[in-house]
Structure 1
């Protein structure tokens, strides 16, 4: 016999959302806000500053590998937390969020489509941001070339996709819907949250990620893209992972003169 727990009170729902965000993307957003203020007041133009992704954490290769894996693993703990919280009523949370493998080919197809729709304009927007001086130079990976470098970058890309899409879209939608928010209010909140924790890369990436947030959250809530009436978060996870794989690994395949023109090292 399944015991169904009563729904959370409004006050407890709001408190839960703030706690979850404080442990995950909201915390990153606050740090990114402080970071962009520091950058803007540093006396050096944004275009001459650098943001490093996937930095090395030790000069010793295998210790660096351990640190990288620990960072990825602990970054996914908030995902486990929200899945646990959402499953409190006894339902299958992976099914309700669309994290199950019931529609693999459809999810994969939409994932690639979303990645293309965001990635190609995103690269052009990044170049524009660099040209007008509102985006810092992004170093996609500062890891040395070891046998484990590419696998770790792939895991990092997947971790980013799972963390951001499950919390900023899936979890936030479930809880804000319980608070009586309409679709537009959710899309705005989710998109601004997504943009906030990318502020450390400059104003351009903030705007670009807000646009990405609008597309992703609108897709997730659109009845047109809900087979069987169920939301599907997996296409967003796939799309986000693909975008980060290209950013973390694929950039190395781009000719050096192109990377230099785009401000990518």
Structure 2
């Protein structure tokens, strides 16, 4: 009597799922987060360059109020704008957890003093030169004036700006450093390709600010990548990014009325 069980599928025709998976996960996470932002950023700079106004005479506003005449609804929009962008970071952490890689990226509270110490040092080393570079890029005509805090004045304005700074830091460093470096190395990319490609993507989703923002964030991405290779933790990078954005958002909102040059005037 013939064997009723189906014949086995020859292994040669089966896809190597374990090899393809890191690349698929990388594309999916980028597609719902910073890769998507990069595409829209390229479209944004194209739109700015085709205006009849020089780039350095244009203003890019971020962290805007949605319904300033209805503060309670505006707050709801702002909270949603903090929570939902964190979902791709959670997705990346979920993928890393499934493959046992989550603990290796250093996104935890095991070394808080180390993370905070490195974070403050990096923020000082990057933030001050970064501000000088931004001002020079704007003066040379290849960057817009960036207005980073445009929320209406409410009791929740500063807490929301702090939340936005934290969201940016977690999303970008989890995805562009922790997840990117882990999956790219599993794809057998050379280390220099991993570092440079991560920095280029980081710069591309800041193109909406102008070419100064693009170049400045590439440099920041290269520094962050090299630091990560040294310390094997994204904790310090999250702290650094948070501090830079905190100063940019909250500091700008407090200082701009007294420092006209920040607003390009």
Distance in 2, Cα, partners of 1:27 & 1:243: 23
* Counterpart position of 1:3: none
Q: Assess, with a 3 A threshold, how the Cα gap between structure 1 residues 257 and 151 changes in structure 2: closer, same or farther.
A: closer
Q: Assess, with a 3 A threshold, how the Cα gap between structure 1 residues 264 and 64 changes in structure 2: closer, same or farther.
A: farther
* Counterpart position of 1:29: 38
* Counterpart position of 1:4: none
**1:179-226, CA deviations, whole angstroms, 9 ceiling, x for partnerless residues?**
00122111100100100000000000100000000000110012xxx3
* Counterpart position of 2:92: 82
Flag the structure with larger Rg. 2
Match for residue 161 of structure 2 among 153, 156, 161: 153
Match for residue 29 of structure 2 among 20, 24, 32: 20
Match for residue 162 of structure 1 among 156, 167, 170: 170
Distance in 2, Cα, partners of 1:57 & 1:261: 26
CA RMSD of aligned residues (A): 1.6
Shift of 1:257: 5.3
SS in structure 1 opposite 2:60? strand
For this pair of structures, how many residues does the alignment match?
249
Contact 1:126–1:262 (Cα < 8 Å) also in 2: no
Shift of 1:92: 6.5
- Of residues 127-136 and 8-17 in structure 1, the stretch that sits farther from structure 2 once superposed is 8-17
Q: Assess, with a 3 A threshold, how the Cα gap between structure 1 residues 62 and 39 changes in structure 2: closer, same or farther.
A: same
TM-score by length of 2: 0.90
Shift of 1:85: 0.5
* Counterpart position of 1:239: 240
Contact 2:149–2:253 (Cα < 8 Å) also in 1: no
Shift of 1:9: 2.5
Is structure 2 residue 183 aligned with structure 1 residue 175? yes
Distance in 1, Cα, partners of 2:58 & 2:31: 28
After the TM superposition, which residues 59-98 of structure 1 pair with which residues of structure 2 at under 5 Å, given as runs?
59-89=69-99, 91=100, 93=102, 95-98=103-106
Structure 1: tracts of 5 or more residues without a match:
1-6
* Counterpart position of 2:4: none
Distance in 2, Cα, partners of 1:39 & 1:241: 28
Distance in 2, Cα, partners of 1:37 & 1:255: 28
Shift of 1:71: 1.2
Is structure 2 residue 50 aligned with structure 1 residue 41? yes
Structure 2: tracts of 5 or more residues without a match:
1-15
Is structure 2 residue 108 aligned with structure 1 residue 100? yes
